[in-house]
Structure 1
């Protein structure tokens, strides 16, 4: 190569080729080595998609396992508009399946977003129709649908679930337990961006836990039916009812009107309908609060049921304010003061008791503090410290004004009287269980404190029984059963005048039955009814109607039923083995001798329940609680033994073993 110019050109070309090849090599090395991970992930995103696998939400059931809320398979439909081929065609095809306007679907298909939900929680059949379209850009994700099979039944307690989890009631309060843990899966795509059916699960979802409530759907149904009828009949602004078991604090039923269907929870005139006013809305209780004053005065020895109180013929003047009775009374016994709901008589006893002692009992009964029921938004009510009271505070508080309480607080306080003086914490959740139904957490009844002595509770119960038998609560009577309770008619404050309005306000009744062995406590309340003026007319009949059904459902025999003699007969055949809970203690062996239980102090019903497994003949004499028994407790029983029980009124049984006034449960029992 003699031509220097040609040689130079060849060298330049060779250098250029070397640089170009080196650049390509360097670029390949950069892409294959340095950027390998990033580019592989980009390719993975183009041909695969990571989806969330929603965990099945745990069920909510009543105390017997009846389902109140459950989840069923469903699918949510989304679109990635950039991958949609023909938005007009896709919108037309989807409209007939989803029963939605084409214009709405078309707008979503042509939106500038990279991802848009079209419909949430479609039934499986609809989802299959969408999948059969095989349109690019459409995708389906499993997302269970929450169903409430009983519609409005216990809606305010159960609550409801939205897109982001539980929004009200138990669904919200127990969100962490119910929700479970979502999983992850990879879905392959074809060249057109359509999802391939096969999913590669990266992380399996963990099902949520179930929640068992203390509610009884049978009692709940009766309460809802009767409360709804009274609410409609009286044209009331609102209504609520609550049923508790005074022995454990279990909430057996709770109802609020107006109500809603949690399956369509958005279909309400306003969101205030969702609020569970049993726990969120405090109110002035009126005369039902006189029970607290009576309990405090009896426990402190300020007054006895037979002591006379002059009711001033229906009016008393305190701090330049005149407080009147609904009827002009002269001399009344303290029992008659409560029986006839005398404001003047109650105020006189309250003044004798004094503010500090009265305030201690008000707070000891649980007023002014949350009950710990566990529902969202629970109010503590309003109980002011005595230092902030005026000269009128003690008189007005004793008759249920200048104090506000919630329905659950008031029912729990009456429950303390019903069970012998112990305030029980209201319990709504019995247990939490896993997807296989195994109990993983149990909540036992909790006794908060002893408020009054048992003999005081029995005395007050007799006084409350006279309210129903001969006083303002006569419409709460249930034939065949003793009912104890108190009516309430509370006026509301007129904000325009600053005085209490004369229009009907909060009409209520709180009581329990049977009085000698209470199985339930119930509060019934109507807010501003149009056709009734008194709690005795409006709320007491609700108690009677519901209570009659509850006692029949619980197989509680009426008091006038003759005692049944239990006679053991020949066995028809081998009995089925009893169901044993995992946590139950092992039963005694078949060869162990039968031993006579200690029945003293028990009502007849409880005594017969204890004797039933022994299959013995029983003779009963008297009424009340067992004071004598033969054979004696602990005796070995022969197969043909005959049991004799002697009963007497509760006031005569066990008095010697109970604390008296001021010892040690004086002020108040703690």
Structure 2
């Protein structure tokens, strides 16, 4: 009996011990639960969210660039970029090859690249592919393969606007042209959003936007694409026909200094820059390349002559015998002897001897002052990257030959844009207005005020003489003539400087002018560098390009003809 009681007591003691252990375990679990919920709950929630909730960037696209009429010149289109986590993808070589096949890449090269970066967690495989192609890649369900939305710059007008717009790089940062000059204005500000992703990195749900993306601001240019396209086609045709080294054309609005067109040859395709072998084609030569303006500068020599009071339009200048000794050098009229000619005839016949005599009479200070006033020797400040201001001589001691050659465009340098700005002063009755590439760039509250730099009566005299230069009835050339419109302008031909000095067989052909002559609407400058063949004078090479561009521009701008003689009126009436 006592043995039975002893066993019962031992069994009861064990039962109580087990119950106590279970009670303690339950209490421990309850305590742990309370600790997890109330003590460590916030920490654990954050840790869990960190493994499922991600903060993803929201890509912001660059602002659109449009011409003055709203025509898109540069837009951003959505694309996808495929990237991988090499640490994950390297575990399965068959997945790497499947990815390479989907993207039409070399499987061996991609495998080698992924394995070489196996310790990294990020590597781009292919940037900027169409969204449908990226969706096909993601549909493979490969571990460690992800996609990211980006934007790609697209230029609808291609090479026609390439030098003006420039381009942006693969990271959408401006590299050339206006894309570079206005990069801060055009680029957007990325945003951030919270999302839930699965283990493959795919977004399951978008939670909230932490910071919205701010797209770049639009840029409205003064460029008129219709005129830009016209100028590009005409310049390219002449460039190819003449087998020239390069060529440039600038068209300004004569009233407000706005750039309506700016084109160069050779050009490039902004969508296929990898094929470019001549990187000189990337230059906007109209603002970066300098040249001696030759006889186009004689217009300003005429301004200095009239301002000096020593000359008027009809003042006679003796150019016999067609050459002039200046110190140890000679100034010649290309073998012609024009004899006694007026100031106007000096421009019409483009006499170097007559121009040199004027400069020697008025002195270097007056001539140089005129050139500085119209903008030579300083940057046009258009905002284009690489823009150059040219070189204006300022000798401590001026020799007569330096003054003589300056009068007909040698011994100094300028750009096509700078020459156009100078002629715009004459076209705008002596008022100098800064050039601008922005629509209403000089009338948007910027405080820019046109400055009078030449007296109006002086300008009217020079305008009248420049009309005679291109009027065959007054002895001028008709190569720049535009049917039904009056024009004014000046040709120029300058020898090119080489290693041994001026080259006898290399020239730059130029024309600078405006239309209509009496109420100018546009200023046009044409530069053809080193044309090949038997013709190289500005009247032969550059002036016809001016005529074709100016004629088309008048139709585009709907400018009323101002030169209809009776025979033409009868012809038009009969039709």
> Which TM bucket (shorter chain)?
0.7 to 0.9
1:95 Cα offset (Å): 3.0
Instruction: Determine the structure 1 residue equivalent to 2:554.
Output: 551
The alignment's TM-score, normalised by the length of structure 1, stands at 0.74
Alignment-derived partner of residue 466 in structure 2? 464
Residue 492 (structure 1) aligned to one of 480, 491, 496: 496
User: Per-residue deviation at 1:555?
Assistant: 2.0
1:217-237 Cα deviation digits (max 9, x unpaired): 111111011001000000001
How far has the Cα of 1:80 moved from its partner? 1.1
1:640-664 CA-to-partner distances (Å, cap 9, x unmatched) read xxxxxxxxxxxxxxxxxxxxxxxxx
Shift of 1:33: 9.7
**What is the CA-CA distance between 1:534 and the residue it aligns to?**
0.8
Mark the structure with the bigger radius of gyration: 2
The equivalent position to 2:378 in structure 1, one of 369, 373, 377, is: 369
Change (3 A) 1:67 1:443: farther
CA distance in 2, matches of 1:444, 1:548: 33
| Partner in structure 2 of residue 204 of structure 1 | 212
Moved more, 48-57 or 305-314: 48-57
Shift of 1:154: 1.4
Alignment partner of 1:340 is 2:349: yes
Partners in 2 of 1:167 and 1:311 — Cα distance?
52
Task: Compute the displacement of 1:101 (Å).
Answer: 1.9
Query: 2:411 — aligned with what?
Result: 402
What CA distance in whole angstroms lies between the structure 2 residues aligned with 1:77 and 1:329?
A: 74
Structure (1 or 2) with the greater helix fraction: 2
Is 1:516 paired with 2:524?
A: no
Alpha-carbon distance in structure 2 between the residues aligned to 1:312 and 1:480: 37
Per-residue displacement from partner, 1:156-198 (whole Å, max 9, x unpaired)? 001111124011111111111110111123444434x433343
> Residues of 1 paired with 2:181 and 2:189: CA distance?
17
Gaps of 5+ in 1: 1-28, 433-440, 564-670
Q: Structure 1 residues 527, 562: closer, same or farther in 2, change over 3 A?
A: closer
Paired residues of 2:360 and 2:400 also in contact (CA < 8 A): no
List aligned pairs for 1:107-122, cutoff 5 A.
107-112=112-117, 113-122=120-129
Structure 1 pair 552–92 and aligned structure 2 pair: CA distance change class (3 A)? same
What is the CA deviation profile of residues 128-177 of structure 1, one whole-angstrom value per residue up to 9, with x for unaligned ones? 11221222212222111111111112110011111240111111111111
Provide the rounded CA distance (Å) in 2 between the counterparts of 1:416 and 1:300.
19
How far the C-alpha of 1:392 sits from its partner, in A, is 2.2
Cα deviation code 1:211-262 (max 9, x no counterpart): 0000111111110110010000000010110100110101111110000111
Structure 2: distance between partners of 1:233 and 1:227: 10
**Selected match of 2:530 from 528, 531, 536:** 528
**What is the match of residue 127 of structure 1?**
134
**Could you say if the C-alpha distance between residues 412 and 33 of structure 1 is closer, same or farther in structure 2, counting changes exceeding 3 Å?**
farther
Number of residues of Structure 1 aligned to a counterpart in Structure 2: 521
Judged with a 3 Å threshold, the aligned counterparts in structure 2 of structure 1 residues 177 and 420 are, in CA distance, closer, same or farther, namely same
Matched, 1:214 2:225: no
1:577-635 alpha-carbon deviations (Å, 9 max, x no partner): xxxxxxxxxxxxxxxxxxxxxxxxxxxxxxxxxxxxxxxxxxxxxxxxxxxxxxxxxxx
Contact 1:424 1:445 in 2 (8 A): no
Matches within 5 A, 1:59-78: 59-78=64-83
Is the 8 Å Cα contact of residues 508 and 536 (structure 2) preserved in structure 1? no
Out of 464, 483, 487, the position equivalent to 1:479 is 483
The residue that corresponds to 1:606 in the other structure is none
Pick closer, same or farther for the CA change 1:63–1:273 going to 2, 3 Å. Answer: same
| 2: CA distance, partners of 1:311 / 1:40 | 97
Residue 91, structure 1, aligned to residue 100, structure 2 = no
Q: CA deviation at 1:391?
A: 3.5
Aligned counterparts of 1:396 and 1:40: Cα–Cα separation in 2:
84
Question: Does the CA-based 8 Å contact 1:473-1:486 persist in structure 2?
Answer: no
CA offset at residue 487 of structure 1? 0.5
Q: Is contact 2:486-2:563 (8 Å) kept?
A: no
* Counterpart for residue 432 of structure 2: 423
Deviations 1:242-291 (A, max 9, x none): 10011010111111000011122332113221111111111111111111
Describe the SS at the equivalent of 2:454: coil
Change (3 A) 1:536 1:458: same
Which segments of 5 or more consecutive residues in structure 2 lack a partner in the other structure? Answer: 1-34, 567-575
Partner SS for 2:321 = helix
2:308 paired residue number: 300
